[in-house]
Amino acid sequence: MEIDPEYLRSWYASLSDEALQEVDRSELVDGARTLYDIEVGRRLGLAAAHLSVAAELSDGELQMPGPEAREKPGWFDEAAEVYSLYSRLGSDTGAAVDGARQVLVAADIPCFVDVGEELPDDPDQKPEYSWRLLVPGKLAMRATNILDRDIFNEEFEALWKTHLEMLSDQEFSEAEPREIFCGLYDRIERVVKVYNDELKRRGACENELS
């Protein structure tokens, strides 16, 4: 049976926190599950995945946090987006964003997932949902690189490994990393140079990086 998105959206929105958490997410079909996640996400200010996001377990029961936990953080207006995904009805995009959020939480970086809905100009098309992982602007570079290190670099390593294994001996001999990833090496050199220049400006040359 085809679901009515507008009806489900309104129904989930009408539920109390207690009634919403009593819904068994595992029994929902894909489209209903997405709308359910979005409603929970809006209430928590997070991308809710399997009702585990920003919630506390007490004696095995899930407890919705108080209103203060659902409010946008004080740094929201100066936030920087470090990860985002967009999806239409029927995908578990929120779970992927929540995985990235958990990585930042483990690194003690404040973060907030902003869940939104974008209605298409064409009424025959389904709306698109956005899941944006935000951090304080001053922590954006650190957060982005932590996500690279803990999530995306593993995939990059696997792709690089597969690529090398496919090369002939001659091709492999020409696959020198500093040439292929010259942009990456150049970026690292620039990062170190700018950092050392700032150390000199502050009179702390003893901490200079090599």
pLDDT of res. 50: 33
pLDDT of res. 25: 76
Looking at per-residue confidence, does 92 or 58 come out higher?
A: 92
Helix 93-106 to helix 140-147 angle, to the nearest 10 degrees?
110
Of the CA atoms within 13 Å of residue 54, those in its CB half-sphere come to: 24
Residue 45 backbone class (left: φ over 0; alpha: ψ -120 to 50; beta: rest): left
Q: How confident is the model at residue 18 (pLDDT cuts 50, 70, 90)?
A: confident
Spatial distance between the Cα atoms of 52 and 49, rounded to a whole number of angstroms: 6
Helix 93-106 to helix 30-44 angle, to the nearest 10 degrees?
40
Looking at per-residue confidence, does 179 or 57 come out higher?
A: 179
82 with 139: CB under 8 angstroms?
A: no
Average pLDDT over residues 125-130: 72
113 with 131: CB under 8 angstroms?
A: yes
Query: How do residues 143-164 score in pLDDT, each as one tens digit?
Result: 999 999 999 999 999 999 999 9
Q: Which uninterrupted H or E stretch holds 120?
A: none
**pLDDT for residue 170 is more than 70:** yes
Report the percentage of the chain scoring pLDDT > 70.
76
Q: How confident is the model at residue 90 (pLDDT cuts 50, 70, 90)?
A: very low
Residues 6+ apart with CB under 8 A from 41: 47, 48, 53, 94, 113, 115, 131
User: DSSP assignment, residue 29?
Assistant: -
The neighbouring-strand residues paired with 173 are none
